[in-house]
A and B are shown apart, each in its own frame.
Chain A
Amino acid sequence: MLSLRDQFPSLASGLAGTYLDNAATTQAAGASLARMASFETGGRANVKRGIYPLATQATAAFENARAALARYLGAENPNEVVFTSSATAAINLVAHGFGAGLSPGDEIIIGEGEHHANIVPWQILRDRAGVVLKVLPVDDEGYPRLDALDGLITARTRLIAVTHASNVTGAVTDVAAVCDIARGKGVRVLVDGAQMAAHGPVDVATLGCDFYVVTGHKMFGPTGIGVLWARAAVLDAMAPFMGGGEMIRRVTFDETIFAPPPHRFEAGTPPITQAIGLGAAADLLLGLEWPEIRAHEQVLLGMLMERFADRDRVTVIGPGATAKRLPILSFTIAGVHPHDICELMGARGVALRGGHHCAQPLMDRLGVAATTRASLALYNIPSDIEAFTAALDETLEVLA
């Protein structure tokens, strides 16, 4: 039986080096790559309409992937799963579809710690439809301040859009608490689960949210595929975002009658191969022992933070190791720019990310222009932390 790390070809081969940029993109699982290759070489056909065997098999593979994502997200009904091209596209879909039902003066609350993907679509909606955006502040560690939420909600509040886990600080939002507050006031909740989905199955039913978005390339699947999960009743009430083939019941020059969800939101030929690959990734993740993996990730995070403890110039941005957080660690080093660190660490085989991480409002709140980020995933091992430490020492020598 393959070890966990050996199930990721780019890691098993060593080509990915010391890969600590998992919050940007995880490495693809071999099972995902194999299922996509199998489809492309022996099962390729378009989905939904064709009735010859190859096409019906392709449709079955595509719908099996939808079912796998439903299981991974804890959804009972696969028809609540809409394939998109990314988590960003999924949020934009909601901003257009759900947003079409909003009126000028309606309010949307967005978190201060959000990725730009969960800010900009709402600003575009604001500018188009006259809705009002309010900001739920974060505390000094990057956690949304739920104590401030109640005071932001009014009779005009229609939606709260928050991340499940910060791509900068790793802070995990108490989404269930957000949903509890929102539900009592008839407000919908959208959760950006892009980071969370790499760290174990999600249970949307327990969370109590209305929308949940994930992306394939951050959960060991391919790029170019994302998922919107939404409650069936919410999807039923939503207008389509894009029009085209595959999303209709009947088209005349006078009118179009749209197909029911999820097809109403999947105009045109979907990213079939990528959906099948993501389904394989979800199947793999569903079969893992997550308590063990999370404990392993936590140990590695602790190791990483210990390496910083005796360095005076290093400041960790975000919560401590034992807090409710993901193994996503941002830090600054006094007098050294993150891109200079990343350049030299990269040359030493350590993949890190530096910059604002598409979260400039959070950077402003935390009082930093940019951070360096090391983000871990299930396949990282202690020697990755050792390699990180050695490369950091060399990097700081070069920059001295």
Chain B
Amino acid sequence: MSGADDIYDARIKTLAAQAETLGPVDHAACRHEADNFLCGDRMAVEVDLDGNRVKAVGGKVRGCLLTRAAAALLSQVAPGLERADLQGGIKQVEALMADGTPATGAWEGLNAFTPVHGAKHRHDCVLLPFQALAACLDQTGPRDG
């Protein structure tokens, strides 16, 4: 077993399999499609908002196991969170990739991606759904509660 094998642990594989259920949301407040510059993988994110509260995150993912796993986790964690919590999730995944800072709170599940921190060439695979989310939220602008 090599170090690279650690990336593909059971939690990641389980999450990736769950990406199969991703689909469009009913009333998308925003939609954004992002490409991974490295490989051309693609993630379309849609967010359904009720005011500042997230009703659903969906979309379509065409990507590697890591991208699919990250997309699945995003869609599972986001419902019920506030917009600010999504922004917090984006910051947490960026910090996890950049320096291995463990994720906390609602985003604790991101820690499944901790082995990817040591594989810089794969960071964008994990970040892609969150980059698409950030661009998607930028379209809606901040709202008062």
* Closest-CB distance, A304 to chain B (whole angstroms): 23
A2 within 8 A of B: no
User: Looking at the complex, which one of A343, A370, A398 makes contact with B40 (CB distance below 8 Å)?
Assistant: A370
- Report A-chain residues with C-beta under 8 Å of the C-beta of B3: 347
B39 touches A347 (CB 8 A): no
B40 touches A344 (CB 8 A): no
A355 touches B5 (CB 8 A): no
Give A339 to B36 CA distance when docked, in angstroms. Answer: 12
A348 within 8 A of B: yes
Give A370 to B40 CA distance when docked, in angstroms. Answer: 8
A356 within 8 A of B: yes
- Report B-chain residues with C-beta under 8 Å of the C-beta of A288: none
Give A354 to B40 CA distance when docked, in angstroms. Answer: 10
A231 within 8 A of B: no
User: Looking at the complex, which one of B2, B8, B62, B65 makes contact with A369 (CB distance below 8 Å)?
Assistant: B62
- Report A-chain residues with C-beta under 8 Å of the C-beta of B4: 343-344, 346-347
Tell me the count of chain A residues lying within 8 A, CB to CB, of chain B.
Answer: 18
- Report B-chain residues with C-beta under 8 Å of the C-beta of A348: 2
Q: Which residue of B lies closest to A339 (CB)?
A: B64
A347 touching B5 in the complex, CB below 8 Å, given contacts A355-B38, A356-B40: yes
Within 8 A of B (CB), among A355-397: 355-356, 360, 363, 369-370
> Which one of B5, B7, B63, B119 has the highest number of Cβ atoms from chain A below 10 Å of its Cβ?
B5
Within 8 A of A (CB), among B1-35: 1-5, 7-8, 13
A340 within 8 A of B: yes
Contact with A along B34-68 (1 / 0, CB 8 A): 00001111100000000000000000001111100
- Report B-chain residues with C-beta under 8 Å of the C-beta of A337: 41, 63-65
Give A354 to B125 CA distance when docked, in angstroms. Answer: 14
Contact with B along A238-273 (1 / 0, CB 8 A): 000000000000000000000000000000000000
- Report A-chain residues with C-beta under 8 Å of the C-beta of B83: none
B2 touches A344 (CB 8 A): yes
Give A356 to B8 CA distance when docked, in angstroms. Answer: 22
A339 touches B40 (CB 8 A): no
Give A370 to B67 CA distance when docked, in angstroms. Answer: 14
Give A337 to B122 CA distance when docked, in angstroms. Answer: 13
- Report B-chain residues with C-beta under 8 Å of the C-beta of A346: 4
A340 touching B65 in the complex, CB below 8 Å, given contacts A347-B4, A399-B8: yes
* Closest-CB distance, A332 to chain B (whole angstroms): 13
A343 touches B122 (CB 8 A): yes
B65 touches A360 (CB 8 A): no
> Which one of B2, B7, B122 has the highest number of Cβ atoms from chain A below 10 Å of its Cβ?
B2
- Report A-chain residues with C-beta under 8 Å of the C-beta of B38: 355
* Closest-CB distance, B16 to chain A (whole angstroms): 9
A344 touches B39 (CB 8 A): no
Give A356 to B4 CA distance when docked, in angstroms. Answer: 22
A340 touches B8 (CB 8 A): yes
Within 8 A of A (CB), among B52-103: 62-66
Give A292 to B76 CA distance when docked, in angstroms. Answer: 58
- Report B-chain residues with C-beta under 8 Å of the C-beta of A398: 1, 5, 8
A343 touching B39 in the complex, CB below 8 Å, given contacts A337-B63, A337-B65, A399-B65: no
- Report A-chain residues with C-beta under 8 Å of the C-beta of B5: 344, 347, 398
* Closest-CB distance, A392 to chain B (whole angstroms): 14
User: Looking at the complex, which one of A347, A360, A370 makes contact with B2 (CB distance below 8 Å)?
Assistant: A347
A370 touches B65 (CB 8 A): no
- 28 A-B residue pairs with CB within 8 Å: A337-B41, A337-B63, A338-B39, A338-B64, A339-B41, A339-B64, A340-B64, A340-B66, A343-B4, A343-B7, A343-B122, A344-B5, A344-B8, A346-B4, A347-B2, A347-B3, A347-B5, A348-B2, A354-B39, A355-B40, A356-B40, A360-B40, A398-B1, A398-B5, A398-B8, A399-B8, A399-B13, A399-B65
Question: Could you tell me which A residues sit within 8 Å of B by CB distance?
Answer: 337-340, 343-344, 346-348, 354-356, 360, 363, 369-370, 398-399
Question: Could you tell me which B residues sit within 8 Å of A by CB distance?
Answer: 1-5, 7-8, 13, 38-42, 62-66, 119, 122, 125
User: Nearest 10 pairs between A and B by C-beta?
Assistant: A347-B4, A347-B2, A337-B64, A355-B39, A356-B40, A339-B64, A340-B65, A340-B64, A398-B5, A369-B62
